[in-house]
Amino acid sequence: MKEKLSDVIERFKNLRVLVIGDAILDTYVKGNPDRVSREAPVLVFNVDEQEHQCGGAANTAINVAALGAETYFLTVLGKDSSSRELMDVLKKHRVHTDLILRDKGRVTIAKKRITAAAHMLMRIDEGTTSPISEICEKELLLKVAELLPQIDALILSDYGFGVITPAVINGLKELTAKESKLLVADGRDLSRFKTLKPDAVKPNYEETLQLLHIDKANYNRAEQVQLYAKKLHEVTGANKVAVTLDADGVLFLEKGKNPYRVLAVPQDNKRAIGAGDTFISAMTLSLAAKVKGEVAAQIAAAAAAVVVQKEGTVGCSNSELKAYFTAVPKYISNTGQLVEIIKDLKKQGKKIVFTNGCFDIIHKGHITLLNKARDAGDVLIVGVNNDESIRRLKGPERPINNLEDRITVLAGLHSVNYLIAFEEDSPLQLIKEVHPDVFVKGGNYTENTIPEAPLLSKLGCDVKIVPYIEEHSTTHIINKIRDINHEVEMEATATSY
């Protein structure tokens, strides 16, 4: 396409989106069962920490907001502590919550996961899943009517927990007939939205099988679904159908066009909870930004690919998505963009670790440093001296590898999350802007003798020293190569005589 994808993604920030659907409070309780109770033959579980996240349509709203759009969320919650926790998380992620209805006759849907040593021991579910009341239906539609003229797109995220009832669908049909808006639907049974004639829908493979009333394929899944393209359009009423196939990528079907396939990039998936919510959020914003359907599918697949590399239910930020489409996705060329990414990460409660170096010829010492730095927190940012900086520090014969080569090699390391180059001899200015939680220094220093100590103390940053490994340095490797070359030259000279 003629325009850059980064320009399309930047336009997300000018869009306004309304998300309607079922909200879920996901609570992760971490601890350890350390003894048997005296009251009964059961283990006593001691809680170490508890974290609240949003699931269902609430996670879709958070994803839309993370991608930069002004986001409004409409649902029906109970009047309970879970609803308050859920709304607090939404507000933290810049989602407008003033439209949310609360009904004392309902219990907010909550799923509490009890985990120990990264293993889930139990899940406790609660909440009302029956259809919302007629009064709530009418109030919900009144709020939609009020906001509809102001938005660019509407997302229906239906988890089957009672918010999007037949009456709500009929009401939306009347409202969107008067005020046409981009409408995208995601749900367990997308045939429910056929009368709305959505612009796009996003079933996963299992949901697609149910829509088509067919069995799993014993051959290529994309080829199987492609055979039923016409029927999928008919049963959903949608012009565009994006079938997500996890490891097999995405099959994008648009009326009047050839099927378009987005292949999945092999990923070391951590916990792909909510990747579908990320996909539909990015696809909706892309379509609202007026790009072609296949481009929207490509951008959405990229956003999902970013998310599956993260722990837990999290979103993909606008900056992260733009970075994905650079030659080296981990490399952030602009400090302002990196600062924006860090702000999003810190809002997610992530501990930011920073280290720096020349990393001219990668060796065991570098790998040890980066692995230990990564273990010190959640996200590792590596500052890399540019070529001119290295020449000032190491002499005119260095670096051996230029910045582009060094960045490419470092980006291939699992321990590294983000890379940024700096031109100064010291990374002090970069540290000020990154404001890490942990600073890792390689070398034979103490916390008080490292050059960056005064600044780190002022920032309240923890310091971790990783001692150098004997005989593992770039200089040592270069000298060793020179010695070998010298011996070869000496032998060649002796042989010629």
Return the active site residues.
277
How long, in residues, is the chain? 497
> 3-state SS string over the chain?
CCCCHHHHHHHHHHCEEEEEECEEEEEEEEEEEEEECCCCCCEEEEEEEEEEEEEEHHHHHHHHHHCCCEEEEECEECCCHHHHHHHHHHHHCCEECCCCEECCCCCCCEEEEEEECCEEEEEEEECCCCCCCHHHHHHHHHHHHHHHHHCCEEEEEECCCCCCCHHHHHHHHHHHHHCCCEEEEEECCHHHHHHHCCCEECCEHHHHHHHHCCCCCCCCHHHHHHCCHHHHHHHHCCCEEEEECHHHCEEEEECCCCCEEECCCCCCCCCCCCHHHHHHHHHHHHHHCCCCHHHHHHHHHHHHHHHCCCCCCCCCCHHHHHHHCCCCCCECCCHHHHHHHHHHHHHCCCCEEEEEECCCCCCHHHHHHHHHHHHCCCEEEEEEECHHHHHHHHCCCCCCCCHHHHHHHHHCCCCCCEEEEECCCCCHHHHHHHCCCEEEEECCCCCCCCCCHHHHHHHCCEEEEECCCCCCCHHHHHHHHHHHHHHHHHHHHHHHC
For the beta sheet containing 43-56, the strands, ordered from the edge strand earlier in sequence to the opposite edge, are: 43-56, 23-36, 110-116, 119-126
Whose CA is closest to 199, among 184, 180, 217, 179? 184
335 in Cβ contact with 433 (< 8 Å): yes
